[in-house]
């Protein structure tokens, strides 16, 4: 498939870029693969440090509150019971690792599926060049506004790490600069629009067609 190439001011350059159909227009996008990859991405970001006190860990006396029978009330064994304020929590969370592995082929299928959906929705724009000579937040914000993404979530895909571009985007909310080889399914699906630098198409396709 072919797609228009735009300049930084959002105007067409009159040129077109060729996108690999095996990456941007697959026949059967897999929703389940997308769900698995996004689930793994979010799970791997979790710290897993949540912890509550169990009955043996709560501070307090272990003395029986009153005799077992004859009081007319219920039986109470300890002030540390979960039934009392300040008591323990039943089956509370414990520190755990939420990470899980996902087959590389599934992850690649998920990214190709996500890119296919974005291409169908017209949410992918190809930029002639995203390079900046110096860090300029105002210039970066103007780039997003040119593509009507100023107040929306945007991902700019570049071929390699660009320090000036990264510094320019640092104070712009809802915008991320991602290297083509590190673009994730979550990045794609979470963005309202993708701006792909012309030079980033080849490494992105190479990553997803191995």
Q: Helix axis angle, 31-44 relative to 104-120, nearest 10°?
A: 110
Q: Are residues 177 and 81 in the same domain?
A: no
Per-residue pLDDT, 209: 87
Give yes or no: residues 106 and 180 share one domain: yes
Residues 11 and 66 both lie in one domain: no
* Whether 107 and 158 share a structural domain: yes
Q: Write down the pLDDT at residue 197.
A: 94
Angstrom distance (rounded) from CA 88 to CA 59: 9
Count helices and strands in the chain by DSSP H and E runs: 7, 6
Q: Are residues 128 and 195 in the same domain?
A: yes
Verify that 42 and 56 share a domain, yes or no.
no
Q: Which two tokens stand for residue 23?
A: 């990456």
Closest by CA to 141, choosing from 151, 128, 131, 133, is 151
Q: How far is CA 90 from CA 36, 54, 93, 158, 203, in A?
A: 31, 7, 9, 49, 51
Q: With beta carbons less than 8 A apart as the criterion, state whether 141 and 165 touch.
A: no
Residues 119 and 204 in one domain: yes
DSSP helix/strand/coil, 127: strand
pLDDT at 150: 85
34 with 59, same domain: the answer is no
pLDDT of the chain along its 210 residues, tens only? Answer: 899 999 999 899 999 999 999 999 999 999 999 999 999 999 999 999 999 999 989 998 888 988 999 999 888 889 999 989 989 999 999 999 999 999 999 999 999 999 999 999 999 999 998 888 899 999 999 999 999 998 899 999 999 998 999 999 999 989 999 999 999 999 999 999 999 999 999 999 999 987
Number of domain units in the chain: 2
Instruction: Identify whether residues 34 and 109 lie together within a single domain.
Output: yes
Q: What CA–CA distance (Å, rounded) separates 44 from 101?
A: 10
> Given the DSSP bridges, would you call strands 2-6 and 12-18 parallel, antiparallel or unpaired?
antiparallel
The answer to whether the beta carbons of residues 208 and 157 sit under 8 Å apart is no
Residue 76: predicted pLDDT: 87
Report the CATH number at residue 119: 3.40.1370.10
pLDDT (0 to 100) of residue 3: 92
Same domain, 143 and 39: yes
Q: Which domain holds residue 159?
A: 2-47+101-208
In this structure, are 144 and 125 located in the same domain? Answer: yes
Per-residue pLDDT at 188: 96
d(CA 6, CA 25): 21
């Amino acid at each position: 498939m072919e797609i228009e190439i735009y300049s930084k001011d959002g105007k067409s350059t009159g040129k077109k870029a060729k996108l690999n159909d095996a990456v941007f227009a697959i026949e059967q996008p897999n929703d389940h693969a997308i769900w698995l990859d996004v689930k793994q991405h979010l799970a791997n970001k979790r710290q897993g440090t949540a912890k509550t006190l169990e009955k043996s860990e709560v501070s307090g006396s272990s003395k029986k509150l009153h005799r077992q029978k004859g009081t007319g009330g219920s039986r109470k064994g300890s002030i540390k019971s979960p039934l009392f304020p300040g008591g323990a929590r039943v089956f509370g969370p414990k520190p755990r690792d939420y990470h899980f592995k996902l087959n590389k082929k599934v992850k690649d299928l998920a990214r190709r599926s996500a890119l296919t959906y974005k291409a169908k929705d017209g949410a992918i724009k190809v930029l002639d060049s995203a390079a900046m000579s110096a860090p300029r937040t105002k210039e970066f914000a103007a780039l997003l506004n040119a593509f009507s993404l100023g107040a929306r979530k945007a991902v700019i895909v570049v071929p390699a790490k660009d320090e000036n571009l990264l510094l320019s985007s640092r104070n712009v909310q809802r915008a991320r600069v991602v290297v083509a080889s590190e673009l994730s399914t979550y990045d794609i699906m979470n963005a309202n629009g993708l701006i792909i630098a012309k030079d980033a198409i080849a490494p992105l396709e190479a990553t997803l067609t191995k």
